[in-house]
Structure formats: structure tokens, C-alpha cells
Amino acid sequence: MHSIGILSTGSYLPERVVRNAEIAEQAGVDPAWIERKTGIRERRRAAPEQATSDLAAVAADRALLAAGLRAGDIDLIVVATSTPDHPQPATASIVQHLTGAERAAAVDVNAVCSGFVYALAMAEGLLRSRGGDGHALVIGADIYSRILDHRDRRTAVLFGDGAGAVVVGPVAGADGFIGTRLRGHGDGHRLISVPAGGSRKPPSEQTVRDGEHYFTMDGRGVRDFVTGEVPEAVAQLLRDCGLGTDEVDHLVPHQANGVLLRELWPALKLPRAALHLTVEHCANTGSASVPVTLDAAHRAGDLRKGDTVLLAGFGGGMNTGLALCRWTATAAADPVRDADPRAGGPGERPTSRV
């Protein structure tokens, strides 16, 4: 039985940069208000011709290049998204086609902003079931700009579009994944939702008129959930893994809101850990936010082999998803950013480390 870990990272942010001034008037707020309330200055927007699978495929290609693998080496593709290309088929099936991973199984996971960590846990479990052999592409990708009411200041100012990916596979020794902790809190399912478009409220002229296909969020309820649940979830995972709070080197959280993350940070009580943030320049990219930030930290050279890295997702469902690993990815490759016509631009990845 091989240990399983993250072999490489990759990400893609669309070319178009949307700064606060561009969205403030429609949302009925001042640009400075957006930054003060969210810590966000700008975000990326997908081009009209781009779907979630397009962003995901570019991120996947970059992760494959960094791992020194071909698409044909991949056994499994798991795409975490809550903005799929279509209700069906799975967006992962389209990514499989776009990347040329002809022999890979392909499946979507929707745990909203915890989705990437859930997808990681699924991929690790499936690889373990075959003795630790094989490789998986785990991708988080979302285009929230397509489901926002841009007049709603509670949601329109928070989100950006993007995709991040990792290649997961066998690693040496005791490195790789240490433990995961996934938990649903379904009693809070109304805090974040898109009310219409599914089997409970199928699409109709009335649901469109009522704006029920837009993303909605109870911001205060979400904040209470995050500050109440995440610190205890982190503490429990560390206890389960037999690690102390001072043994975590890096925290890569879901980039929900910069102000919220800075309030949450002291409550996590991780005295040696570096907090990695991309929210200022990328905003909240849903299930993409953890892998986009992870890739940014890796490419910045912040993650060293053997470092203990905690990935923390939380959001709609409500769900929490945590994964703890010892870092195993080698030095990041430097692919040519405009080499793939699907990319639509260079997609640089800003990062900050606290």
C-alpha cells in the first residue's frame, strides 16, 4: 500500500479583471465599502464563450504539466463545482474529453465551497481502494458570475471565477495525506442556495421573473456558522491525527471573505502556521478558491517538502471539509500561460502570505 499525496498543482484565472469600481454602481454601493466589508479589490470574470469545464481543463493541463504526466496516465477525474456546464452530463466528463484523459473515470462533486476538499477525500479513498496505485486529477472550478444578481450587494461583490487543480498519486514514505474530516450541517441548508432550477422548483417563467435562479446567501447566518463550526472542526481533526496546533505550517482556507478570514484566524490557534490568502485579487471563487490559493502558495515557493498543510473548506449545505497533508509536490513548473487556446489569456495568480 503506497501513501497518497499531492504531486502537483495548477490553476487558471480568466483574463478579464473586474475591479470594485466596475461593479459598485450596479450593486448600489461605494467601491471603498466593498473593500472595507470584504477585503476584495478585484476579481476575474470568465469570457462569454467560456464554461466551467473550459476553466477546469486549463487548470488540469497545468497540473499535469507540473507533474510530468500525460492525460492518458490519469485514472480518475473529480470536478468539484456548484456551477456546472449543464445539469447533466457531469462537467468532469467534458473535462475528460477536453484534456484527452481517455481512460479516466469522471465524476462531479457538489459540496459548494467545501467541494474541493470533499473531492480530494473521494479521490484519496478510491486510490487507496486499489492499493494506492494510479493517479487522479482533482479540480475545483466555478463561474459564479453567471448566477449572481448583480444588483444584490450582499452577493454580487463577493465572487470571482476561476479553477484550480491538483494531481494526486503515490508518494514515498509517510508523506502525503494524514487525515480528513468532512461534515454536513443540513439544518442550515437554507443559508446559501439557488432556490429554482431543480426538481423542487423546475424552471418556469414565474421562477425567472422572481429571480429564483440567482445565488442567495444569509451573510450573518453564514458568518455565525463559520466562526462557530470551523475552529472546533480544526481542533478535532488535529486531535484525531495526533498532532498539536503548533505542528501546522500552513493554512489554506476557502477564500470566503477577507474580513471574515482575518476574524476567524485567531480563533484557530495555529501559532506557527502561515495563513495564505488570494481573496484580495481573486475574490471568492467557490470550490476553486482552495486549489487556486494552494497553487499560488506553491508557485511562490512558500510550501516546502514535508511541511504540514491544512486545507479548510466551508460553505453551502452547510458543509465543512478539512484535509491535512505533508507536502510532497516538487518545484512548480512554469508553463507558457497563453499556450492553450482554451485559456483566453495569461491568468496570473496573485497571492499573499500572512
Looking at the annotation, which residues are catalytic?
A: 113, 254, 284
The CA distance from 106 to 122, in Å, is: 12
Alpha-carbon 5 to chain mean position: 17
How do strand 16-19 and strand 42-45 relate by DSSP bridges? antiparallel
List, in order, residues 6 or more apart from 267 with CB less than 8 Å away: 227, 230, 231
SS3 311: strand
Q: What are phi and psi of 110, to 5 degrees?
A: -120, 95
Per the CB < 8 A criterion, the answer to whether 161 and 143 are in contact is yes
Helices (H), the chain: 20-27, 31-38, 52-67, 91-99, 115-129, 153-156, 205-209, 219-241, 258-268, 279-282, 289-299
Check residue 284 and report its DSSP letter.
B
The CA distance from 295 to 9, in Å, is: 5
List, in order, residues 6 or more apart from 225 with CB less than 8 Å away: 185, 188, 191, 314, 318
Closest by alpha carbon to 94, among 176, 348, 81, 224?
81
CB atoms within 10 A of CB 190: 12
List, in order, residues 6 or more apart from 13 with CB less than 8 Å away: 44, 160, 161, 162, 282, 292, 347, 348, 349
Per the CB < 8 A criterion, the answer to whether 201 and 195 are in contact is yes
